Chain A
């Protein structure tokens, strides 16, 4: 607060130059020179391009190893490399998961230009997913890799739990995009569970969260990927369109269920009984009913979201600050917070702050309405998805959920039969 008088002086008498300089700079007579100021630059731009090249190579390699070579061991080694490079060497930044927010911010705020590399990091894994599924998750993402390597004894998450938990990433994505869109914060980066590990340091809360996640990941296959990761939600949306996917058995499925047991991510769907006439008609009726209800759900979600906008707006520091300052001015709050003190030091009129907060609230209101509708849409589509049962004759990997880890290949007895055939053939050739 000691600086306040200077500022008032500066405001009242803008011409009174020198208000900040209490002591005139010396006139040296001894020929003294200012020491040079050291201003170390960030790492050279070329390293960013190297990161991008590594991303491209690892993405292509992961797709090749998973879908052509079908080698879990190679995938595991590649994941280890990615963990070392993108995780420990690059300290986890920039990653496509977080880049989602930079994209949202750049779309909303013309003052923030999306850096080329960040844009490329966001788009490339999605493009690969359109062709080859979640190759990024298989062995490129450092967050996925660290969970992959600690998985010891996967427990099966029952479907009644897996289904609702699997919706969380979509909600998380919506909230994170809204908060980035409004310039509030980068939620995904703030609550990145493994970043403290990659940097070998961080706040106590984040270390505890990371350790808890890692402990959970030893018995539950990739909990962050399946039940939180917002980029995983995007990949889950895109991957069902992929051209190449995991084909579990090289020959015919004998319906032994071994692959489904081997998949730690619950991605393998069993064959369905052929639908009978009545159940089909019932399904159709249910689908029609759901489709009719969906617009109502969207409207309700939008309305609820709109009502909740005040709560979410408080994530923005300016909104919280304005509320605090208003309370202090009206005498409802005693003392100051660090933020309100910082605000008083600037000497800005309270009205400027209130206006900024009001503008932010006005931006949040439509945003939270869209968020509410998005939540309703996700729920509605999930219900619809549950009532339109796809017919399957074999065990199949669901391309949205499959992380291309390659475990099912090893589990399939037909794969082994095929391998034995090939060895026999090779041996036979060698003999003759």
Chain B
């Protein structure tokens, strides 16, 4: 093969040129990404305005129990004696016994504050993010209970498994420095 040595060098040359072009491209991309220093990590969060309390959060998260928990916006709470998040809708004789509690894991602590107000507090380690209490409070109460991804637990999956299953497309990516979407009071007073 008399023509093989020049061919080799031609191939070598082509490869070197392409490699240089590739390195330029990738380092340019890297430089562009790094210089835009403000593009921070994104984390997953539930938009409480979109959430329909479907119950997927309890079952779809890669973690058991879910990284989603109920949070309580005290400033929105009516401190009702008969909380719709705490008690079931249909109760014979409006009973307040343990059999009338909505939460399947008994994760809500009820405490008397002053007549006629009661404080409700989520016992987070027990909460499984099933949204049953949220649904009750949304339907009949002030909507002070809502679900949020808790970032001390969330693994920040690149594709959140709950987001994939969420029928309301309520999961959004938010910057890690503002990792919660808090509810605010809507009422004028």
Contact = CB atoms under 8 A, between A and B. Distances in A.
B151 A22 contact: no
Given A21-B187, A39-B180, A41-B151, A186 B158 contact: yes
B157 A189 contact: yes
Interface in A233-286: 238, 240-243, 274
B52 A345 contact: yes
Contacts, number: 196
Contact of B74 (A30, A34, A94): A34
Contacts of B141: 22-23
Interface string B54-90: 1010001011100000011111111110000000000
Interface string B133-150: 000001111110000001
Contacts of B156: 42, 93
A18 B187 contact: yes
B151 A241 contact: no
A199 B63 contact: yes
A202 B63 CA distance: 7
B185 interface: yes
Contact of A241 (B15, B33, B38): B15
B41 interface: yes
Given A28-B113, A42-B176, A127-B30, A98 B159 contact: yes
A30 B114 contact: yes
Given A114-B39, A342-B167, A40 B152 contact: yes
Contacts of A102: 158
Interface residues of A, number: 76
Given A189-B159, A201-B63, A274-B1, A116 B33 contact: yes
A190 B23 CA distance: 31
A159 to B, nearest CB: 24
Interface in A106-161: 112-120, 123-124, 126-127, 130-131
B188 interface: yes
Interface string A328-352: 0000000001110111011000000
4 residue pairs, one from A and one from B, having the closest CB atoms:
A23-B78, A119-B33, A189-B159, A186-B159
Interface of B: 1, 4, 15, 18-19, 22-23, 26-27, 29-30, 33-34, 36-43, 50, 52, 54, 56, 60, 62-64, 71-80, 113-114, 117, 119, 121, 124, 138-143, 150-152, 154-159, 161, 164, 167-169, 173, 176, 179-180, 185-189
Interface of A: 2-3, 17-26, 28-30, 32, 34-35, 37-42, 45, 48, 91, 93-95, 98-99, 101-102, 112-120, 123-124, 126-127, 130-131, 185-186, 189-190, 195-196, 199, 201-203, 238, 240-243, 274, 317-318, 337-339, 341-343, 345-346, 391
